[in-house]
Structure 1
């Protein structure tokens, strides 16, 4: 099975310099154009048979643009949402710690998720998606930078605690594959459609 991991386009939170996480901001006009360019590229080169998407506006709007362009079904899963950053959601970036500053057992935003809980959620939802996508040759997962990192960690079987990280730009595409030989990374964080 081939899997496209796609991050949402620019959101209003990007312009406000606030913690996004579970704060539910929509796409900007730039984000909508980014999503349209991504959808055109995916339609031409790598059209999926099915799309799984986060329920947060910035990802669901991106996924809708892709689904409408491709003409394929879509299912929304709240488990694909970004790191639960608790009471930091929507607050200025100058407030609160960055997730990298916390120990694995410490909750982000006091009532949010720990790194361990976030990774476990990523493992669980990726397992569910793979199981429920066996009939498809290629799927797309439209989500957020943090969740895409958790899925890549799961795919690569990295330990829960490690020092590697994955950058994903606006509408960045990662292309991975599960086949009879194992796990194949075709490309990571491609944003050439935005040029």
Structure 2
């Protein structure tokens, strides 16, 4: 039975704005692309949209430029919310695929590409992370935050290869889940957390504030 004083923690899950890697069809990984001009506009629109949702207590972000810049723009529009970069939310390390065109990878790595398209949770490249690796570190980081900041509202600014496994972990969605969850650049989703019930996804991939974005499906 739920108690009357159950604390609800509100978590905004935000994907960074557009960067060159998005529009050129590149695997990004840890390649440190900054926001492009459209990405900056997207982040500004996102910041205004988030300002309408109520106050934010904290912003936690991937340390990579495209996420950190997005977080900075959101912070300025929302009363200079404190920003903390956390390695737990940095992007997946893709080893030899990073910064390369997806069309080239499809030709050079046909077996691995088939895994990426059909069941990326099983993909393991040399000197890289797997999606289960990313899921473990991101979920562990989130679990720490919801315990430390119970009853607060905070934002996480990260990457699709982090947010999708993180959402799956919170909702206990089994493999293969990666292509069943979609988050666009500069979108936001909302997760609520209660100690007794755990996580509840109340909004996924909100993009109504955006005039222009590239939707990526591979």
TM-score by length of 2: 0.80
Q: 2:191: which partner in 1?
A: 176
1:193 aligned to 204, 209, 212, which one?
209
- Residues in 1 aligned to 2:43 and 2:10: alpha-carbon distance in whole angstroms: 20
Q: Equivalent residue for 1:88?
A: 97
Q: CA RMSD in A?
A: 1.9
Deviation at 1:106, TM superposition (A): 4.1
1:45 aligns with 2:53: yes
Unaligned runs of 5+ in 1: none
> Residue 162 of structure 1 aligns with which residue?
176
| Structure 1 residue aligned with 2:42 | 34
Kept in 1: contact 2:28–2:98 (CA 8 A): yes
For residue 143 of structure 1, the aligned residue among 137, 158, 168 is 158
Residues 168 and 177 in structure 2, CA contact (< 8 A), matched pair in contact too = no
Match in the other structure for 2:139: 123
Unaligned runs of 5+ in 2: 1-8, 212-218
Number of the residue aligned with 2:128: 112
What is the Cα deviation at residue 54 of structure 1? 0.3
Change (3 A) 1:46 1:151: farther
Q: Deviations over 1:124-160 (max 9, x none)?
A: 22212223322x521100001111112111211223x
Q: Are residues 1:8 and 2:16 paired?
A: yes
Structure 1 residue 79 corresponds to structure 2 residue 96: no
Maintained 8 Å contact 2:17/2:186: yes
CA radius of gyration, larger in: 2
Alignment size in residue pairs: 192
Q: 1:103 to 1:138 in 2, by over 3 A?
A: closer
The list of structure 1 runs, each at least 4 consecutive aligned residues, that deviate by more than 3 angstroms after superposition, is 100-106
1:60 aligns to what? Answer: 68
